């Protein structure tokens, strides 16, 4: 790897990181794609030698990609903010909104493929790195970065499809599906593949992601859920957890919802959370992930968690 990061390319990357940070709270639904783009850009720039002969051409290509990515991210952030600002009226436009989410994911993917094309078309030059003394370094095998979604999806496509079928099909009553795995064995990755799936986003009126930690703060989780439905959560701050759960149920009651509850540690945590999820007989679903077998069995509607 080159000893120094090209200063111009480095500033371009910093600019893109700034745009992402600036809009971070609005990018959750396309976070995987944006994070993947940043990783791939960082890898490319790390291998760009300021002394290489085609450095200017490569920097120009990187600049084009960065500007395109900035435009795509800002455009998505504006769409997301406008959607949130509509309050309850936004639920009348869920189909159009889901379509725009899908378009944004495709746009970021297309930009990531452009980064990959830069790698592939300049592979020889990227291998010819030069040290500070002008002497050639030993040959370095520079590979185009593997697309993150390709890595994440390896071995889980069929499993994701099975779970997706269970989410979309089946009875009208609320169904809880548990994924039980040890730490680091991909339960969150699998859940994200399912959560980000276009058919899932289109099928369900409301899609929410709830992250539970070992020291679960139930009130904060309920407030975070409510923030998806209303900008003004100040009126809820003084409420007890039971009242907050009732408010969430009011918002969820009339639509088909899908909620991922990630990394539940105890049966008690699940019992406290589930009071906010109404059985509205609209085909609503909860996907729960846990490392604990007893939690998975306790929460699962069928008693048979996916392991």
In CATH, what number is assigned to the domain containing residue 218?
A: 3.40.50.300
Residues 97 and 207 in one domain: no
Among 134, 150, 166, where does a domain finish? Answer: 150
Please report whether residue 234 resides in a domain. Answer: yes
Structure token pair of residue 110: 């297309």
Residues 145 and 159 in one domain: no
Q: Which domain holds residue 277?
A: 155-299
Q: What is the pLDDT of residue 174?
A: 94
Task: Decide: 57 and 25 in contact? Cβ < 8 Å.
Answer: no
Q: What is the pLDDT of residue 152?
A: 44
Residues 159 and 120 in one domain: no
Residues 65 and 177 in one domain: no
Please report whether residue 196 resides in a domain. Answer: yes
Please report whether residue 2 resides in a domain. Answer: no
Residues 76 and 160 in one domain: no
Residues 270 and 180 in one domain: yes
Task: Decide: 126 and 119 in contact? Cβ < 8 Å.
Answer: yes
Please report whether residue 305 resides in a domain. Answer: no
Residues 124 and 240 in one domain: no
Q: What is the pLDDT of residue 132?
A: 37
User: Rounded CA gap, 111 and 118, in Å?
Assistant: 11
* pTM (whole model) above 0.85: no
Question: For the chain, which residues score pLDDT lower than 50?
Answer: 1-4, 128-154, 184, 307
Residues 200 and 265 in one domain: yes
Residues 226 and 269 in one domain: yes
Question: Number of structural domains, the chain?
Answer: 2
Residues 206 and 226 in one domain: yes
User: Rounded CA gap, 128 and 25, in Å?
Assistant: 40
Residues 78 and 17 in one domain: yes
Residues 33 and 55 in one domain: yes
Please report whether residue 177 resides in a domain. Answer: yes
Among 119, 150, 181, where does a domain finish? Answer: 150
Task: Decide: 306 and 179 in contact? Cβ < 8 Å.
Answer: yes
Q: What is the pLDDT of residue 151?
A: 38
Helical segments of the chain, H only? 7-22, 31-46, 55-85, 94-121, 123-127, 148-153, 157-168, 187-195, 198-203, 218-226, 241-252, 267-274, 293-299
Please report whether residue 307 resides in a domain. Answer: no
Among 108, 123, 150, where does a domain finish? Answer: 150
Please report whether residue 1 resides in a domain. Answer: no
Q: What is the pLDDT of residue 284?
A: 95
Of the candidates 27, 202, 41, 174, the one whose C-alpha atom is nearest the C-alpha of residue 104 is 27
Q: What is the pLDDT of residue 89?
A: 56
Please report whether residue 128 resides in a domain. Answer: yes
């Amino acid at each position: 790897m080159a000893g120094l990061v090209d200063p111009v390319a480095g500033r371009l990357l910093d600019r893109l990181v700034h745009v992402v940070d600036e809009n971070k709270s609005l990018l959750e639904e396309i976070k995987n794609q944006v994070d993947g783009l940043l990783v791939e850009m960082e890898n490319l720039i790390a291998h760009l030698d300021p002394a290489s002969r085609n450095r200017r051409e490569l920097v120009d290509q990187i600049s084009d990609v960065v500007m395109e990515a900035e435009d795509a991210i800002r455009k998505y952030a504006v769409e997301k903010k406008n959607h949130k600002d509509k309050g309850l009226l936004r639920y009348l436009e869920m189909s159009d909104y889901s379509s725009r989410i899908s378009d944004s994911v495709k746009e970021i993917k297309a930009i990531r493929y452009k980064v990959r094309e830069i790698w592939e078309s300049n592979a020889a030059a990227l291998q010819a790195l030069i040290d500070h003394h002008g002497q050639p370094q030993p040959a370095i095998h520079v590979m185009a970065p593997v697309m993150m979604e390709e890595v994440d999806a390896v071995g889980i496509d069929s499993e994701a499809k099975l779970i997706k079928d269970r989410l979309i099909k089946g009875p009208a009553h609320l169904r809880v599906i548990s994924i039980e795995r040890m730490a680091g064995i991909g339960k969150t990755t699998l859940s994200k593949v399912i959560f980000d799936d276009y058919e899932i986003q289109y099928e369900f009126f409301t899609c929410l992601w709830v992250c539970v930690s070992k020291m679960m703060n139930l009130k904060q989780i309920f407030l975070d859920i409510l923030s998806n439905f209303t900008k003004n959560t100040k009126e809820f701050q003084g409420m007890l957890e039971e009242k907050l759960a009732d408010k969430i149920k009011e918002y969820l009651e009339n639509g088909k919802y899908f909620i991922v509850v990630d990394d539940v540690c105890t049966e008690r945590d699940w019992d406290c959370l589930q009071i906010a999820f109404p059985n509205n007989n609209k085909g609503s679903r909860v996907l729960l992930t846990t490392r604990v077998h007893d939690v998975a069995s306790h929460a699962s509607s069928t008693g048979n968690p996916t392991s």
